[in-house]
Amino acid sequence: MRVLVVDALALVLYVVVSLPALTGVGVHEWLGLGVGVVLLVHGAQHIDFVGRLLAARCSLRATGRMLLDVALVLSVVVVALSGLMESGAVLPTFGLYAEGYYFWGPLHAASAKVLLALLIVHGALNIGSVWRLMRHRCAKETA
């Protein structure tokens, strides 16, 4: 059940952080760092799954899911790095400034769109597992 809590937290934080007009840019940047941490925890919780996939002969489906997960990790890293490099709130807090806003800004916008697309695919592929886990948990509580 802890996995579902982290997943739900990651989803809610992602939705909030992906709307900087709703929160303001400063909150968007700080929440973005928080989402990065939650997503790292989420990935760590599923690392055993990746290990099992690597140890087994992978089907085409499993290989596709693994490639999707790699693409997700890479896109999160690019979004976080580019967001940090164009930061107007987080970096100045630490007395830092990054050059290249006209490089980092478009990269951040494009990688955020790629991340959203990959997250939609990831969610669609995993919704069945979530429902089964929730049904199993509800059945245990009512028994």
pLDDT tens per residue, range 44-63: 877 787 777 677 777 788 78
pLDDT at 61: 81
CA distance 8 to 62: 24
Q: What is the pTM of this model?
A: 0.77
Q: Which two tokens stand for residue 20?
A: 């900087």
Q: What is the pLDDT of residues 69-87, one digit of tens each?
A: 889 889 988 998 999 999 9
Q: Do the Cβ atoms of 40 and 15 come closer than 8 Å?
A: no
For tokens 């940047």, what's the residue?
29
Domain boundaries, the chain: 2-142
How many Cβ atoms from other residues are within 10 Å of residue 37's Cβ?
A: 11
How many angstroms separate the first and last alpha carbons of the chain?
Answer: 17
**Contacts (Cβ under 8 Å, ≥6 apart) of 131:** none
